Amino acid sequence: MDLNFTPEEQSFRAEVRAFIDAHLPADLRAKVLEGRRMTKEDYLRWHRILYRQGWVAPHWPKAFGGAGWNAVQQHIFHEECADAGAPALMPFGLVMVGPVIMAFGTPAQQAYFLPRILSGEHWWCQGYSEPGSGSDLASLKTRAERRGDVYIVNGQKTWTTLAQYADWMFCLVRTDPQARKQEGISFLLIDMKSPGISVRPIIMLDGEHEVNEVFFDNVEVPVANRIGEENKGWTYAKFLLAHERTGIAEVGRSKRWLKRLKAIAARERACGGGRLIDDPRFRDRIAQVEIELMALEVTTLRVIAAEMEKKAPGPEASLLKIRGSEIQQTLSELLMLALGPYAAPYQPAALDAGYDGPIVGPEYGVAHTGLYFNMRKTTIYGGSNEIQRNIIAKMMLGF
């Protein structure tokens, strides 16, 4: 047993850190650290910087243009990016559909889509959930009927994250309504510019436009854009869910938020005078979440080590999802509580980086309450925490 990183891993970390220091634009970094509103271009700028370095797809094999790093290196890379305040890389292309195309796509699909995911030319979105099919995803109803060499797609997806930016959607559709529900599903790649697609924004509880409804009205999708076999889409979808596990716990970002929380608690004044961080009740709350996070980090490393030994991806990912989401929620709640009465003002305009109007309360606090509200999503999406508990109950505890 040795819980330390090897010297090679440590020098890898130093190399990653030096690159980020030299190449992460200061304005982007500031935006991320302060929790300001991110534009499509903000995400893409960092994406392209990593692309030029050959690092944008740490987990992809070199043959497909990835960095070909092992699980420990990937972890170190993500941790360093999160710590530095680098914008998140959108997972939809790189983490989700990319590996599916690599594993099940035709050579033509691989040649066309993979380079464009890497370069950032294509922004992807995930068309799984529907109004009637959330936790019970396999009940999805969006219909695709074959007519010669196209499918005609009709129906509706919802909660589609950042579909307003997307060039392509990977989409689960029903191709055989007669079959058992998991067996009549196909996996299509759909050009978002196709006639008949309309995207309607859904405004989240923090007032931001993050998700959408996507409607399909007789949309033609070439059969050539189907992944793998017809009616086998559920298999590919499950493969994808297993790949969503990397970074699911968001340990790196939570460590950054913890740092920020401590810095702010050292500046905020407690009621009886003195610093908030010295107030025993608030101090204990910080301590409690830090201890949880410490344990989660080691649990994450255990899962990564198992992955290195090529043990099949298991339900540990559910554990990481449960604790990781709860810790994110706690940290965002403490960031809000730290502000005292100044948690109340709603200042959406101040979230734009260029904003130079009046700000109520401390400038560092403008995003915190919205963040607390927004983080409620983390126990709902990606398989709700109730569903994750069902998985552990079944797979780990044998119920």
Ligand X SMILES: Cc1cc2nc3c(=O)[nH]c(=O)nc-3n(C[C@H](O)[C@H](O)[C@H](O)COP(=O)(O)OP(=O)(O)OC[C@H]3O[C@@H](n4cnc5c(N)ncnc54)[C@H](O)[C@@H]3O)c2cc1C
Query: Active site residue: 130, 244, 268, 307, which one?
Result: 244
Residue with tokens 């499950």: 238
Residue with tokens 């409804």: 213
| 145-153, 178-186, 279-287, 385-393 -> range binding ligand X (CB under 6 A) | 385-393
The amino acid that residue 317 corresponds to is A
- By a kind-dependent CB cut-off of 5 to 8 A, residue 205 interacts, out of ligand X, other proteins, none, with other proteins
- By a kind-dependent CB cut-off of 5 to 8 A, residue 128 interacts, out of other proteins, ligand X, none, with ligand X
- For residue 294, give the 3-state DSSP assignment: helix
* Mode of pairing for the β-strands spanning 209-222 and 143-147: unpaired
Q: Does 182 bind other proteins (CB under 8 A)?
A: no
What is the closest distance, in whole angstroms, from the C-beta atom of residue 129 to ligand X in the complex?
4
For residues 379 and 135, the answer to whether their CB atoms sit within 8 Å is no
Distant-in-sequence, close-in-space partners of 73: CB < 8 Å, separation ≥ 6: 9, 12, 58, 67
Q: Does 212 bind ligand X (CB under 6 A)?
A: no
Structure tokens at 77: 């890379």
For residues 304 and 246, the answer to whether their CB atoms sit within 8 Å is no
Sign of the alpha-carbon dihedral angle for 134, 188, 325, 294: positive
* List 81, 211, 296, 334, residue binding ligand X (CB under 6 A): 211
Q: Does 202 bind other proteins (CB under 8 A)?
A: yes
Question: Is 38 or 387 the residue whose CB approaches ligand X more closely?
Answer: 387
Q: Does 132 bind other proteins (CB under 8 A)?
A: yes
Q: Does 207 bind other proteins (CB under 8 A)?
A: yes
Distances, alpha carbon 362 to alpha carbons 37, 265, 286, 311, 372, in Å: 17, 12, 20, 48, 17
Structure tokens at 154: 């009709």
Q: Does 380 bind ligand X (CB under 6 A)?
A: yes
Binding residues for other proteins, rule CB under 8 A, total: 51
For residues 265 and 287, the answer to whether their CB atoms sit within 8 Å is no
What is the closest distance, in whole angstroms, from the C-beta atom of residue 251 to other proteins in the complex?
23
What is the closest distance, in whole angstroms, from the C-beta atom of residue 357 to other proteins in the complex?
10
* List 67, 153, 261, 337, residue binding other proteins (CB under 8 A): 337
Question: Is 61 or 131 the residue whose CB approaches ligand X more closely?
Answer: 131
- By a kind-dependent CB cut-off of 5 to 8 A, residue 358 interacts, out of ligand X, other proteins, none, with other proteins
Which of 162, 208, 212, 259 lies closest to 373 in space, CA to CA?
A: 208
DSSP string, 290-333: HHHHHHHHHHHHHHHHHHHTTPPP-THHHHHHHHHHHHHHHHHH
For residues 312 and 245, the answer to whether their CB atoms sit within 8 Å is no
* List 73, 74, 126, 164, residue binding ligand X (CB under 6 A): 126
For residues 87 and 41, the answer to whether their CB atoms sit within 8 Å is no
Q: Does 282 bind other proteins (CB under 8 A)?
A: yes
Question: Is 237 or 303 the residue whose CB approaches other proteins more closely?
Answer: 237
Tell me the C-alpha distance between 174 and 193, whole Å. Answer: 21
Q: Does 47 bind ligand X (CB under 6 A)?
A: no
- The rounded Cα 398 to chain-centroid distance in angstroms is 30
What is the closest distance, in whole angstroms, from the C-beta atom of residue 160 to ligand X in the complex?
5
Question: Is 167 or 279 the residue whose CB approaches other proteins more closely?
Answer: 279
The amino acid that residue 267 corresponds to is R
| 112-120, 146-154, 255-263, 381-389 -> range binding ligand X (CB under 6 A) | 381-389
Respond yes or no: is residue 244 known to be catalytic.
Answer: yes
DSSP 138: G
The residues assigned a catalytic role are 244
Q: Name the site residues for other proteins (rule: CB under 8 A).
A: 129, 132-136, 139, 158-159, 202-205, 207, 211, 268-273, 279, 281-282, 285, 337, 340-347, 358, 360-361, 369-370, 372-374, 376-377, 379-381, 384-386, 389
Q: Return residues touching ligand X (CB under 6 A).
A: 126-129, 134-135, 159-161, 210-211, 377, 380-381, 384, 386-387, 390
